[in-house]
Amino acid sequence: MNSNNLQNLRKDAEFSDSSERKISEIVGTLERVSAPNDFNFRVKAKIAEEKGTSKNAYRHWLRYVLPVGAAAFVLVFGLYAFNFFQTAVPYEQAENVEPAKVEEIRTPAAEKTPDNTFVAESNTARTADLPADSVIQSNTQPKITAEKPIFTADKSARKKSEIQAKNTPEDTFKGSRDLAREPVSVQILPTGIEPDKSIPPTEGVGNSGKTNIVELLNFVGAEIVTEAGKMKVKSVRQNTLAERAGVKAGDVVESFDEQKSDGNSNSANIGGARKLVVSREGKLHTFDLKLN
Amino acid sequence: MALDKPVKTDIETQEADAAVTGLSDHALIEQTKSGDEAAFAEIVNRYRNPLTNYLFRMLNDYEEAVDLAQETFVRVFFAIERYHTDYAFSTYIYRIATNLAISEIRRRKRRRLMSLTGFFQNEGEEADFHPPDKKPLADAAMLEDEQKEIIARAIATLPDKYRAPIVLRDIEGLSYEEIAGVMRLGLGTTKSRISRARGLLKEKLKNYFEFEI
């Protein structure tokens, strides 16, 4: 900036008074400083340093990402610790508090059992405060006959309550979790028996309500038709007990379990081994049908 | 804006390309965008002394002023693709320098506040994380009398919003319009702040100078 321009600027009518002009002149008398000789070299060095993108990325990581990650970790850990201690505190407090004090803490609706076990107020106790329609809905739900105590006065009482909870009768209400814990009894049926398939009534025999030979043989896989007072195997289903025993279509049933097959004999017992005698091409064949 | 061209040393003359010395600022910017390092070196040569002087008057610390001037050129280099020729380059580069200077001033204020709340500070004992530069200033030799040093320190104690306009106006010689562009203020506000800065300086220097009332 040359001095003529500065002087011209100061000649402008920009000063409100002479003191302001003098201040401007005093400030203008300050000598100017210059940059050092290695200024250009240092600028080039800084630019080269800044061009190291990997180093810059590392700096950004340290400056921004790392603190944010650390804060997020502390927040998550704090929430976890808060939940952990929040659930643990009531249980520990209950051990140290005397029974009388516990009774004071409890709500008036809480029930007191003889063994100093305090049962939490059940949902059904609050139905009086609810609207009428909601009470009706709550009555339709299974009735809760026993509730697990939440706070116990001492360890012995707590153990008693746990034992009582274990000895709860089976007719009490159980949730899905309780049902899932119980072992499921699996009934193993002999091969060839289809438990889901209902036995169709045999033609000509009728459904008297009792299990007869026709129904039994049909049950094991041999379909029986009655011709001229004799039972004849019409067909044998595959992968059934009758097929594995060797019964074939066209066999005429002579006896079953040492009972003559007159088409009306009843056999109420289907357990154990059965001996089936059929005539095939004039010869008698005996098959052992092990139903169980 | 006419700026004083710095006197080049022999080494700097070798670095600068003679073909770019006569080009305008915008032409140099365009050549720098195309990868011409000599064009950028010419920009540095043109503005390094005005920027250093401006920052020195803002901060009253020569080493810090040199560092911030270099940082200004680094920022210009990396943001040169985003530079638009709608404004004068001088306005653009002074704005960057002003922002850096104000940031540094605020950082110093924060350090001063921290020192007030220091745990290991005894009562009555002044502790400063950024101690004042006790050594002679680089231009102290050029300040022949005490008055100039007093003026420099008085300017350095002005608030940010008054310090930059008066330095740009009375030391760097920028026009009101250019100062308004640098400070991103209206023309009236700029004039008002410069006048207010002169009034504050008058109050600070009234014990050293005689002013007509």
What digits encode the pLDDT tens for the residues A218-249?
A: 888 888 888 878 888 889 888 888 888 888 88
CA distance A168 to A44: 85
For A254, the token pair is 């002579």
Positive or negative CA dihedral for B170, B175, B181, B182? negative
Residue A70 has pLDDT above 80, yes or no: yes
Confidence band for B17, pLDDT divided at 50, 70 and 90:
low
Per-residue pLDDT at B55: 93
CA angle (B99, B105, B108) in 5-degree steps: 140
Asked if B138 lies within 8 A of A47 by C-beta distance, the reply is: no
Interface of A with B (CB under 8 A): 1-2, 5-6, 9, 14, 16-20, 22-24, 26-37, 39-40, 42-43, 46-47, 50
Higher pLDDT, A188 or A226: A226
- Put simply, whether the predicted model's pTM sits higher than 0.80 gets the answer no
* B15: chain A residues, CB-CB within 8 Å: 40
Q: What is the mean pLDDT of residues A22-49?
A: 87
**3-state secondary structure at position A115:** coil
Residue A269 has pLDDT above 90, yes or no: no
Q: Could you give the count of Cα atoms lying within 13 Å of A213 in the half-sphere of its Cβ?
A: 27
Residue A10 has pLDDT above 50, yes or no: yes
Pick A31's closest partner by Cβ from B1, B139, B195. B139
**3-state secondary structure at position B110:** helix
Which of A83-87, A143-147, B96-100 is most confident? B96-100
Taking the Cβ of residue B32 and every Cβ of chain A, the question of whether any pair is shorter than 8 Å is answered with no
**pLDDT digits over B46-96, tens only?**
999 999 999 999 998 899 999 999 999 999 998 888 888 777 889 999 999
Strand segments, DSSP code E, in A84-196 are 111-112, 117-119, 151-152
Give the number of A-B residue pairs with CB atoms closer than 8 Å: 114
Q: What is the mean pLDDT of residues B187-199?
A: 92
Taking the Cβ of residue B41 and every Cβ of chain A, the question of whether any pair is shorter than 8 Å is answered with yes
Per-residue pLDDT at A135: 44
Alpha carbon of B59: minimum distance to chain A alpha carbons (Å): 13
Residue window 98-157, chain B: list those with CB within 8 Å of chain A.
138-139, 142-143, 148, 151-152, 155
Asked if B65 lies within 8 A of A33 by C-beta distance, the reply is: yes
Whether the complex's predicted ipTM surpasses the cut of 0.85? no
Asked if A28 lies within 8 A of B170 by C-beta distance, the reply is: yes
Residue B212 has pLDDT above 70, yes or no: no
